[in-house]
Amino acid sequence: MGIENSYAIEISFDINIFSELILEHKTYQKFQKTQNRYTYHPEDKNIPVKGHYHIYPRNSKKEIYAVNIDGTAHHKSNRGFEIPKKEAMELKKLGVQIPDNRILEHKEIFINENIESYTSIYIIIND
């Protein structure tokens, strides 16, 4: 009986180059009071990643924002984003702890970095 190890491999890439790369099957749900859609990704302690929602416009795969269940920004580029009021109300009903001002944390300014065009995927390997 050995100890099971888990490894997380992070792969970062420029989404402008690999925007059509299929990473996972997504099931889109439509907000009741706006035209936007969302997908839910559950928490995974092996990575680690918090449970979170990605929000997309009606006819596009280009993400508008992503929010963690605890109400924080899922991506650094989403810090400072104000969630639309109607979407904030629906996300709260789904269990997201949206702050009263609906703003996802503070905005960090990066000098000479185009961090917003990069994203990461994780591959989990279990022994």
Number of domains in the chain: 1
User: Could you tell me what percent of the chain has a pLDDT over 90?
Assistant: 46
| Residue 36: count of CB within 10 angstroms of its CB | 19
Structural domain includes residue 7? no
pLDDT mean across residues, the chain: 79
Tokens of 90: 């629906």
Structural domain includes residue 113? no
Structural domain includes residue 17? no
Whether the pTM exceeds 0.75: the reply is no
Structural domain includes residue 100? yes
First to last CA, the chain: 12
- d(CA 76, CA 62) in angstroms, rounded, equals 16
Write the pLDDT tens digit of every residue in 16-71: 545 444 445 568 899 999 999 999 999 888 788 899 999 999 988 899 999 999 99
Judge contact between 75 and 121, C-beta under 8 A. no
Residue 42, domain extent: 24-104
